[in-house]
Structure 1
Amino acid sequence: MPQTLSYLRETASQTAGPYVHIGLAPGAAGFEIYRQELGRDIAGASAKGERIRVEGLVIDGSGSPVKDVLLEVWQANSEGHFAHPEGGGPVETGFRGWGRVITDFETGQWGFDTVKPGRVRGRNGALQAPHLSFWLVARGINIGLCTRMYFEDEAEANTMDPVLNLIEWETRRDTLVASRTDRDGTPVYRFDIQLQGDAETVFFDV
């Protein structure tokens, strides 16, 4: 039986910056070192469904945009299937259902193009509303934050979503719902992520 060495201590935690972008999203940071950068193409050219744009800011407790955030996103395809052997069904050729973006160093704005996901089945077969899952990390964040983005034009599905219904207060649920506008015929969903304050986005312990 191995002995525990009492003089060994846990490594101190540290935040992800300031070079996280060079390592994880070098092309977006201005370093074109890969033939094809991982995480840029979420849906692929052959994905079915409605093409959409998702944009937003990550906002700190003082109301200022955070300009060095890395975000990863996971989603199902338009039929509610994930790009995984146990993802519920087949997906289109080239559909990854995963992407990685960083915020603009000047404005803090982030955004990406994809297809609107379909409803997926969760635990016990319960249907979940269409949503995107986010993970974000930046300087000052020791452990990556997980959240979800729902769509305001899926109000009926949202009222039946088992995850949204775990959140007691409606005003807190609203922090997970993106607003929709249209730009040149393309739906654009706005999703600002608030790290602290009265309107703090709901984050999940996963």
Structure 2
Amino acid sequence: MKSGYYPRDLNMHPPAYTPGYRTSVLRSPQKAPIGFDGSPTEFTGPTFGHSLIGELDNNLILNFAQAGESAIGERIMVHGYVLDEEARPVRNTLVEFWQANAGGRYRHKKDTYLAPLDPNFGGCGRTMTDENGYFHFFTIRPGAYPWPNGKNDWRPAHIHFSVFGAAFAQRLITQMYFEGDPNIALCPIVKTIPDEDAIDRLIARLDMHNSRPHDMRAYRFDIVLRGKRSTVFENRKEGN
């Protein structure tokens, strides 16, 4: 690869056509992919400044709440490192995240799940990695929810991530699941991933060492951009 990045390992990614995941049937390509060399713009990086981040952007418990109020649910901290394919920190890069509330419902007009909305929870935020590639944010543990795929399919509790990286070729969109959730093994979307190690890299581990007593538990989730240990891109072969 002319860019210097490791080639993508497509064997660990979901195939485009996976009938168990119903919407992939119509949107999967009908012809073999064609590879192209990367363009110069893919190897330049988006730049973001800490001045663009608001005081509560990384606190989903409070960033949509009325004064004196807070979101409802189990309070947690999610933290970890963003690393490149050589396990080096990706510094000063934007990490965005969004999720359902504690009942499993998104604040979106097309979400018609019966669970109630939380008036004090917006479900999205962002932060920047520091000089060591470290990030953290505070939120409510999201709930599982049903989705119209099979007769009784449920999505595991999860948080969506968008990470820009040091170059556009590193851009990643993915999901984080929670250790011990039995819905992970049952989820048709997770089942599309053929590599068990890749699935394992999508699961955050309970981290009692960094939990706050009588306040919130912590979950550790490291994100690797590209390379053999990369975090799986969300239902697509490109991006890692």
Smaller-chain TM-score range? Answer: 0.7 to 0.9
Q: Following the alignment from structure 1 to structure 2, what is the Cα–Cα distance between the partners of residues 12 and 192?
A: 28
2:179 equivalent in structure 1:
152
Quote the offset at 1:139 in angstroms.
2.5
Instruction: Note the 1:54-69 alignment, pairs <5 A.
Output: 54-69=78-93
Q: CA RMSD in A?
A: 2.4
Quote the offset at 1:192 in angstroms.
0.4
Deviations 1:140-169 (A, max 9, x none): 124731101000131x11111222111112
Structure 1 residue 184 and structure 2 residue 209: aligned? no
2:14 equivalent in structure 1:
none
The aligned amino acid for 1:72 is E
How many residues in Structure 1 have an aligned counterpart in Structure 2? Answer: 183
Q: Which one of 20, 43, 46 corresponds to residue 17 of structure 1?
A: 46
Give the alignment's TM-score, normalised by structure 1.
Answer: 0.79
Do the aligned residues in 2 keep the contact of 1:41 with 1:96 (CA within 8 Å)? no
Instruction: Note the 1:33-182 alignment, pairs <5 A.
Output: 39-44=57-62, 45-87=69-111, 88=113, 89-104=115-130, 106-124=131-149, 126-142=153-169, 144-154=171-181, 156-182=182-208
1:33 equivalent in structure 2:
none
Give structure 1 stretches of 5+ with no counterpart. Answer: 1-10, 29-35
Pick the structure with more strand per residue: 1
Q: Name the CA shift for 1:194/1:143 in 2 (closer, same or farther; >3 Å).
A: closer
Do the aligned residues in 2 keep the contact of 1:27 with 1:37 (CA within 8 Å)? no
Matched-pair identity in %:
34
Instruction: Report the secondary structure of 1:146's partner residue.
Output: strand
Give structure 2 stretches of 5+ with no counterpart. Answer: 1-38, 63-68
Q: Name the CA shift for 1:121/1:198 in 2 (closer, same or farther; >3 Å).
A: same
